Amino acid sequence: MVDVVGQYKKIKKEIDEAALRVISSGQYILGKEVSEFENEIARYLNVKYAVGCASGTDALMVAMMALGIGPGDEVVTTPFTFAATTETIVLLGAKPIYVDIDPATYNLDPSKIEEVITKNTKAIIPVHLYGQSVDMDPLVRIANHHGIPIIEDMCQAIGADYKGKMVGGIGTMGCISFFPSKNLGAFGDAGMIVTNDVVLAEKLRMIVVHGSRVRYKHEIIGVNSRLDALQAALLRIKFQYLDQWTHARRSAASVYSRLFAGSGIEVPCEASYGKHVFHQYTIRLKNRDKVSYTLSEKKVPHGVYYPIPLHLQEAYSAAGKPKGTFPVTEKAADEVLSLPMHTELDEEQQKYIVQSVVEAMKN
């Protein structure tokens, strides 16, 4: 599905030099590498502040902690995403409130949000799934009307934009994952939170280091979620290539869509309001599971993101939303199939993949 080793080999000298620089320095926690990387990401996303943390999951939890979200609070989000989005809400004692998705983009449908907002709604978490931005204007209008902060889950969408503005700087905060398979991936876990709010930025910095500004003086409840200097240094090298890699992903997506033309297979759409960065290239098939079985036999990599919506997961069944509650989400979960998408793909590989999918569907 991804070729992190192939990508590494192309920039091996730079990566190795950066790693040795950090190892030789003895500065392994925070320090210059982390602060410089934070500044680079902040400039790229056109936000004032960026705070490194240990993972994308931690980014979501720390962002909610900074807003004081806890027991009795409600957070509106999508049921069609990775578990971390809901997991962090539940871990803080809050309740996830789901709304169904847009069938074209698979993102949270803003038109369904107003009906679920209550006096207990303390945040909205839109997920820019697969690398495509949520339609943010109507979401921002609703959030502003009710005075509710927006936490953008942009873990799959660094570099995506909405009407010319980078995702992450549209809401109150944006949460980034640098998991190795992401468009900008570390060599382990790493994450970041971005914001334009100076007060929130200061709280975020305290929370990720045990609630402390000064060593051994703890002003608020925090966690240990620092971004490693080694990961920051390696990410700084890879970050220089992000736009080039985004272009490669978009080109590969265009090739896929051209090769699938006339096959009857539904390919991803790019919404008119923003640039898709194709963290995943996700097609849609009525007989998805049978096709998946055939592709496995042919050893063609593929994945399903995500086969079980969050409202139907055993761990989150306390939400009390039975099958049939979110029909668009449930239908998507039965039909989506993601194909290999990375910067090392070539057209011959894509032709084989597409041919295999089309043949599997016919058979």
Percent of the chain with pLDDT over 70: 100
Q: Which domains does the chain have, with CATH numbers?
A: 4-99+106-239 (3.40.640.10), 242-362 (3.90.1150.10)
Model confidence pLDDT, tens digit, residues 205-227: 999 999 999 889 999 999 999 99
Which has the minimum average pLDDT: 2-6, 164-168, 264-268, 277-281? 2-6
Mean pLDDT of 48-52: 98
Mean pLDDT of the chain, nearest integer: 96
> What pLDDT sits at residue 348?
94
Q: Is the pLDDT of residue 363 over 90?
A: no
Q: Any bridge partners for residue 76, and if so which? A: 97, 124
Helix, strand, or coil (residue 159): coil
- What pTM did the predictor assign? 0.95
Mean pLDDT of 138-154: 97
Mean pLDDT of 137-165: 97
**pLDDT confidence band for 91 (50 / 70 / 90):** very high
Mean pLDDT of 336-341: 96
Neighbours of 221 (CB within 10 A): 10
Three-class DSSP labels, 288-325: HHHHHHHHHHCCCCCECCCCCCHHHCHHHHHHCCCCCC
> What pLDDT sits at residue 318?
80
Mean pLDDT of 132-150: 97
Model confidence pLDDT, tens digit, residues 10-41: 999 999 999 999 999 999 998 999 999 999 99
Helix, strand, or coil (residue 222): coil
**pLDDT confidence band for 1 (50 / 70 / 90):** confident
Q: Is the pLDDT of residue 319 over 90?
A: no
CA distance 53 to 316: 26
Model confidence pLDDT, tens digit, residues 165-203: 999 999 999 999 999 999 999 999 999 999 999 999 999
Contacts of 11 (CB under 8 A, 6+ apart): 237, 238, 241
Amino acid identity of residue 150, one-letter, is: I
